[in-house]
């Protein structure tokens, strides 16, 4: 994974993309970046503004029916949410409708910020990756939190029933979707103040980078560190700091049942970033029963999508010929994740094998 993913011109604005699941705590991180001087573009707020425009209301009504409009002709957001978050396909449909007008409005606002001399911009975008907006960002940050914590937060925040909250959450991606695509990941299982401090520290680090995309500074720093490491014989120690021995007990326990090396499982844990070793072990126990003897690529993809989706794929002859491995991975994100785990497993084996 690249540290900095953007491809912006030198001396242009630093555009930081912020995303994550509902209830994870993006608003707190947004406040932290605003406090450090970032111009904040709230894509949710921008979307609500766009959805009050006649041409957008007409488009949504044509797609979802007149029931999404109130008697006064304004949008019934609760009705739209009930339809759009009822399943992932409906969520994707809403995204495809709204992404073009959102992108056009974003371009205008970014240019306005540049014209006023503002260099640091935070793009608060719940669908950062799905919309392709990550491609205009210099850096990408994801905020994640445990499922139970998120459910409690959105029930309290949005006045939803538990069923409504669960339905909204089920239409979103798992943690790994965000972690594998992000340059930075903030886990928000603690207090709001802890997340606020983490956000401010991260914003301060980004402002310190002297050029727009940070590549010159990062390359120079990495080069110096590697030269020192090679000269002093600390090359391995340097990489062990980046790839520590995590989830070793679980990796040793499940290497046999899963039919893979413990280094692969350490890499899987490193990339998936489960909230605890217990959660990691529970997921592996499910997969070792569901996919006994599966190859590493299939196991990583299965972990990414979860046991329920993996079982559906295994039951589909067009996806799995033997009911254990995937002949192809139908989800691009899961395929990318499996590839990343494979690369990281090589690093772990070289370091600890």
Residue 271 has a CB neighbour count (10 Å cut-off) of 22
Specify the DSSP class assigned to residue 8: P
Q: What is the pLDDT of residue 233?
A: 47
Confidence (pLDDT) at 343: 81
In DSSP notation, 249-307 reads HHHHHHHHHHTS-HHHHHHHHHHH--SSHHHHHHHHHHHHHHSTT--HHHHHHHHHH-H
Close Cβ partners of 244 (under 8 Å, ≥ 6 residues apart): none
Per-residue 3-state assignment (H helix, E strand, C coil) for 18-84: EEECCCCCHHHHHHHHHHCCCEEEEHHHHHHHHCCCHHHHHHHHHHHCHHHECCCCCECHHHHHHHH
The predicted structure's pLDDT at residue 232: 42
Domain boundaries, the chain: 14-208, 248-352
pLDDT at residue 240, as a whole number? 59
pLDDT tens digits, residue range 9-52?
Answer: 456 789 999 999 888 999 999 999 999 999 999 988 998 898 88
CATH number assigned to the domain with residue range 14-208, chosen from the 4 options 3.40.50.300, 3.60.15.10, 3.40.190.10, 3.10.20.30: 3.40.50.300
Please report, for residues 3, 180, 242, 283, 340, the alpha-carbon distance to residue 347 in angstroms, rounded to integers and kept in the order given.
Answer: 17, 16, 10, 23, 11
Distance in angstroms (rounded) separating the CA atoms of residues 168 and 186: 21
Q: Tell me how far the alpha carbon of residue 342 is from its chain's centroid.
A: 19
| Residue pair 78/10 in contact by the 8 Å Cβ criterion | no
CA–CA dist 241, 222 (Å, integer):
14
Backbone angles phi, psi at 41, to 5 degrees: -110, 110
* Burial of 265 (C-beta count, 10 Å sphere; 0-12/13-18/19+): buried
Cβ contact 15:138 at 8 Å: yes
Give the full edge-to-edge strand order of the sheet including 39-42: 39-42, 120-124, 14-20, 139-144, 184-187
DSSP 204: H
Q: CA–CA separation, 151 vs 170, rounded Å?
A: 11
Task: Report the percent of the chain where pLDDT is more than 90.
Answer: 26
Which positions of the chain have pLDDT values less than 50? 1-9, 209-219, 224-225, 227-236, 238
User: What pLDDT, in 10s, does the model give residues 262-307?
Assistant: 889 988 988 888 888 888 899 899 888 998 889 999 999 999 988 8
Instruction: Pinpoint the alpha helices (H) of 180-234.
Output: 192-208, 215-232
- Pairwise CA distance, residues 277 & 190, whole Å: 17
Distance, in Å, from the CA atom of 299 to the CA atom of 311, rounded to the nearest integer, reads 12
Q: Which string of DSSP letters, residue by residue, matches 297-315?
A: HHHHHHHHH-HHHHHHHHT
Closest Cα to residue 121, out of 191, 190, 39?
39
């Amino acid at each position: 994974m690249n540290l900095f993913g953007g491809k912006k011109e030198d001396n242009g604005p630093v555009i930081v993309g912020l995303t994550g699941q509902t209830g994870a705590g993006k608003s707190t991180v947004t406040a932290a970046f605003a406090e450090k001087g970032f111009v904040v573009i709230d894509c949710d707020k921008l979307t609500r503004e766009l959805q009050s425009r006649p041409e957008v209301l007409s488009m949504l009504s044509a797609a979802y029916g007149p029931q999404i409009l109130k008697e006064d002709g304004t949008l019934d957001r609760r009705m739209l949410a009930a339809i759009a978050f009822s399943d992932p396909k409906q969520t994707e449909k809403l995204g495809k409708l709204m992404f073009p007008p959102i992108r056009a409005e974003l371009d205008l606002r970014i240019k306005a910020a540049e014209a006023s001399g503002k260099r640091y911009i935070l793009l608060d975008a719940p669908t950062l990756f799905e919309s392709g907006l990550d491609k205009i960002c210099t850096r990408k940050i994801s905020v994640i939190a445990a499922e139970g914590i998120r459910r409690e937060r959105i029930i309290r925040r949005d006045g939803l029933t538990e069923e409504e909250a669960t339905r909204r959450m089920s239409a979103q991606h798992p943690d790994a979707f965000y972690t594998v695509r992000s340059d930075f990941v903030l886990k928000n299982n603690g207090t709001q103040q802890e997340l606020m401090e983490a956000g401010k520290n991260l914003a301060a680090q980004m402002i310190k980078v002297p050029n727009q995309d940070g590549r010159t500074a990062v390359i120079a720093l990495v080069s110096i560190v590697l030269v020192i490491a090679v000269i002093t014989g600390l090359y391995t120690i340097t990489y062990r700091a980046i790839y520590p021995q995590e989830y070793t007990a679980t990796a040793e326990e499940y290497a046999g049942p899963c039919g893979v090396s413990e280094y692969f499982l350490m890499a899987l844990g490193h990339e998936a970033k489960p909230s605890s070793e217990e959660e990691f072990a529970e997921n592996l126990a499910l997969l070792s029963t569901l996919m006994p003897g599966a190859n590493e690529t299939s196991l990583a993809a299965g972990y990414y999508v979860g046991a329920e989706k993996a079982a559906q794929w295994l039951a589909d002859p067009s996806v799995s010929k033997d009911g254990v491995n995937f002949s192809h991975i139908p989800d691009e994100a899961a395929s990318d994740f499996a590839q990343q785990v494979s690369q990281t497993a090589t690093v772990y084996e070289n370091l600890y094998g």
